[in-house]
Amino acid sequence: MDIPYTVHARPDTGLYNAKIGIWLFLASEVMLFGGLFSAYIFLRVGADYPWPVHDLDVTLGFVNTVVLIASSVTVVMAWAMLKLRKFGLYRLNMAITVICAAVFMFNKSLEYKAKFAHYAVKLTDGTLLTGHLPHGYQVKFEGITELNISIPLKQSAVSADPVGYVVPFIEGGAAKFKTEDGKEISLDAASFGALKAEAVKKANADKKSQATIKLTATSPFKVAAKPSEIFGYTDSTITFRDGTTATGKLADDKMTLEVDGVDARGVAQSEKSLAFDHRYLGEAWQKAFIANRDHHFEEFAKNYPTRDKNRSATLQKEALFFKLHSATPPAAGEGHGDKHGAEAHAPAEGHGDAHAHHPTVVLEKKDITFFSNFTPKLNTYYAIYFTLTGLHGLHVVAGALVLLYFLVFDGKRLRQDPEHLANRVEVGGLFWHFVDLVWIFLFPLLYLL
């Protein structure tokens, strides 16, 4: 059975079916992204912390903007060449469009990877230290005697799986556990599956919202995991990404960070930031920070005498977020009296990893209130950033797959009914233009403002 109005327009609307459908779909997409953009604005206006302006790589964002604009041109050219029955040029332009999509996603993956490897540590006075963890850095717990596992009965984004999220990080071989009824088990898929089924059955009978399993280790054991492989920890507990909590003792209450930035915007007296304590960056870096801060404030006062410096987010970022571009402070060559902690912990010249050109500090746990890599866990800015760019990225992938299908798998339609294929390409192109338009809003909003 033939579906009518796939090639020729309907007499009542002047449009063929697919074109009506895509415009209705795009209307819903406008509402979706409009709501997300509105959420971004409200989150920014109502933020109770210094908003991370100019944190993203503008060069990479600009390259992606050029790539998407170029792809918008080539998808139109592909449609035009198809209408003119120049099939070779159609294939060429469509291939370029798909390649542009691949380049965009590759660049986006580089941006995401950098965020996952970059950390921010909030000190007790409100200072944020940014930087990278040393290669192979792990959080280590010892004397673990107990696992507490929570299993939500309703569908949840996170499902308890200690076999996948806890067992791989246990040191010294597989640990043995005792269940609440005294049965000794090894924590493998089969034994946990049986425990889970029994716990869920009991929770349903008791009309609880979640099932719980408590396992006691037959002998204390140790775990070691990268910070990205766990959800969080305190001095006595470590929580894994599936929600499983282990009770033990933090083996090392210090954290090593290769510092590339000091953000003192949350400190009342920025020059007295805890980051410049003699145990950490020290007096020489403090002097460099003060010189940089005063320079920016003086330049602002000279160029904008009527503006309030406290209301300029860009000025506050430039003046109070100090970037460290070397392992030693600017005054190090002239000599200074304060041998700071960063010097004491710096690797010898020619040694260390790729980030060794930044000062290395060893932070005491009592001075840390929170730390995270640059992911949604850090603050609402990165939550909305990953939501917007991630959803846009999914649209890029979906649109590219559709256009790739037209290019690779629609050869029969190209030969037998090129006008029908031209309509399909036009609809795909409309979606692609919308994807590009969303990025045109995202780029200045996230990268420039």
Q: Where are the domains of the chain?
A: 17-118+377-448, 139-225, 264-367
8-state DSSP, 446 = I
416 contacts: CB under 8 Å, gap ≥ 6: none
pLDDT score of 355: 45
β-bridge mates for residue 230, sequence order: 240
CA 265/CA 77 separation, integer angstroms: 49
Backbone angles phi, psi at 256, to 5 degrees: -95, 130
Give the pLDDT confidence score for residue 167 in this predicted structure. Answer: 87
All residues at 6 or more sequence positions from 254 whose CB lies less than 8 Å from its CB, including other chains: 362, 363, 364, 365
pLDDT for the residue numbered 227: 82
Which residue type sits at 359? P
**Cβ–Cβ < 8 Å for 283, 338:** yes
Interatomic CA distance for residues 379 and 382, integer angstroms: 6
pLDDT at 6: 59
Phi then psi dihedrals of residue 374, to 5 deg: -80, 70
Per run of 10 residues, the mean pLDDT along the chain (length 449 residues) is: 57 67 90 93 86 88 95 93 88 95 95 91 90 86 89 75 87 84 85 87 84 89 86 85 87 85 88 89 89 91 87 86 85 48 49 62 88 88 93 95 86 67 87 94 91
State the pLDDT at residue 38: 93
The single-letter code of the amino acid at 391 is: L
- Which pLDDT does position 19 carry in this prediction? 82
Distance (Å, whole) CA 230 – CA 137 = 13
> DSSP secondary-structure letter at 379?
-
Please state, in angstroms and rounded to a whole number, the distance separating the CA atoms of residues 282 and 276: 5
* Rg of the chain, C-alpha, whole Å: 28
DSSP 8-class letter at 335: -
Comparing CA positions, the residue from 186, 168, 305, 162 lying closest to residue 239 is 162
CATH architecture classification, 17-118+377-448:
Up-down Bundle (1.20)
Tokens of 101: 């999509």
Among the listed residues 327, 241, 272, the one whose alpha carbon sits nearest the alpha carbon of residue 124: 272
Angle between helix axes 17-45 and 418-442 (nearest 10 degrees) is 10
pLDDT at position 161 is: 84
CB 263 within 8 A of CB 131: no
**Bridge-based pairing state of the strands 170-171 and 119-123:** unpaired
